[in-house]
Amino acid sequence: MKELLRRLCSLPGVASWEDQVRDCVMEVAGQYATELRVDTMGNVIAFKEGTKATGNKLLLTAHMDEVGLMVRAITDEGYLKFSAVGSVDRRVLLGKRMLVGPRQIPAVVGMKAYHLVSRDEEKNVPKLDEFYLDIGAKNKEEAAKLVNLGDVAAFDSPPEEPVPGLLKGRALDSRIGCAVLLWLMREELPMDCTFVFTAQKEVGARGAFGAAFSVKPEIALVLEGAPAADLAGVPAHKKACALGKGAVLPVMDKGVIVDRKLFETLRSLAEEGDIPWQLREATTGSGDAMAVQRAVSGVRTAVIAAPVRYPHTPATLANAADIEAVLKLTRAFITQMSKED
C-alpha cells in the first residue's frame, strides 16, 4: 500500500481543486467498484457489492483535499498575494516551495527580508498579508500570463521514506484514509459497502455533508489523521496520540461525539485481534464525522485515525505500522458489521 499512498501524496489537491487526486481515485476505484460516480460537490462515491446484500447500510469515508493557498491579487512588481485555504500554519510558510495553478508554476513563499525586521516584529508570527508568492515574474503583466486570480497553490513536497517505516510528505493526514479505502476495495467484502472520497473537508467538511445526504447510510466509519503531539517539550498529558502506538480511536472532538456502541465495537475488535490502538486524548478540531453524523435524520458514526505529526505543513510524518493497524481495524469493522442485522 505504500506505493499507492506515495502516488496519492504526490498529487496536489487543495480544497475545491482536488481534480488530480480525484482522477487517481477514480482510476483505482473504477477497477473494483460495482457503481462509481462523482457528485456535484466533487466527491467520489463508489459502491461495491459484498457477499451479503445490505445496500447503503455502511458508509466508509476519507477526504481527498489538503490545505493550501489561493491567489487573490497580483502586485505591480509581479508578486502574488494570497489567502489561506483551510487552516495553514503561518509559522512554517516562509521560504517554502509551492506549485501554483493548473500549470503547476513553481513559486517560493516570501516576505520582508530578515535583516529588515524590527525587534517587535521578530516576536510575532507574521500575518498572511505580509507574505507573497514569488514566481520570478518581472511585473504584473508577466505574472498574469502565468497565473490567474483564484488559482490555488499546493506545497511542493514529494513523498519519501527518510528511514524505514517512517513516511514523510504533505497531506498524509488525508491521503492515508484514501489509500486504506482503495486498498480495501481490492478485496472480497463480506457485505455491501459504499466508499466515499470527499472534497472540501479542510474548509468545513462541505463534501461529506452532501455525500451523506446522497447515500443516506445507517452507519458511517470515517478515516482521518489525528495530530500527534509526541514532541519535545510537550507534557505527557497533552500528547493526545503518538506515532508507533497504533490506530487512534477518538471518543469526541469539537464537532462530534462518537457513537458509543460503535466505539466499544472498535475497541473490542482491536483488543481481540491484537491490533495496536490508542485513545485520542485531545478533543480539539473537527472533521467529516461532524457532517456525516448530522445528515438526514442522523447517522451512527465512528472514527479511526492514523497519528500524524505536523499536519497542515509541507512535511507531515506517519508511521507505516500505524497505517497497517488502521487497515486491519477497518477490515475487522466491516466484517463485524456484516454479522449484524
- Judge whether residue 237 has pLDDT over 90: no
Q: Residue 319 CB: number of other CB atoms within 10 A?
A: 21
Mean pLDDT of 243-256: 93
Query: Lowest mean pLDDT: which of 112-121, 167-176, 213-222?
Result: 112-121
In which band, very low, low, confident or very high, does the pLDDT at 162 lie, cut at 50, 70 and 90? very high
Note the Cα 210 to chain centre separation in Å: 17
Q: Mean of the per-residue pLDDT values for the chain?
A: 94
Percent over 90 (pLDDT), the chain: 86
Three-state secondary structure of the chain: CHHHHHHHHCCCCECCCCHHHHHHHHHHHCCCCCEEEECCCCCEEEEECCCECCCCCEEEEEECCECEEEEEEECCCCCEEEEEECCCCHHHCCCCEEEECCCCEEEEEECCCHHHCCHHHHCCCCCHHHCEEECCCCCHHHHHCCCCCCCEEEECCCCEEEECCEEEECCHHHHHHHHHHHHHHCCCCCECEEEEEECCHHHCCHHHHHHHHHHCCCEEEEEEEEECCCCCCCCHHHCCCCCCCCEEECCECCCCECCHHHHHHHHHHHHHCCCCEEECCCCCCCCHHHHHHCCCCCCEEEEEEEEEECCCCCCEEEEHHHHHHHHHHHHHHHHHHHCCC
Instruction: State the residue for C-alpha cell 438526514.
Output: 296
pTM: 0.94
pLDDT at 252 over 80: yes
15-73 pLDDT tens trace: 999 999 999 999 999 999 999 999 999 999 999 999 999 999 999 999 999 999 999 99
Q: State pLDDT tens for residues 163-185.
A: 999 999 999 999 999 999 999 99
Q: What is the mean pLDDT of residues 143-169?
A: 96
Enumerate domains of the chain plus CATH numbers.
2-66+170-338 (3.40.630.10), 68-155 (2.40.30.40)
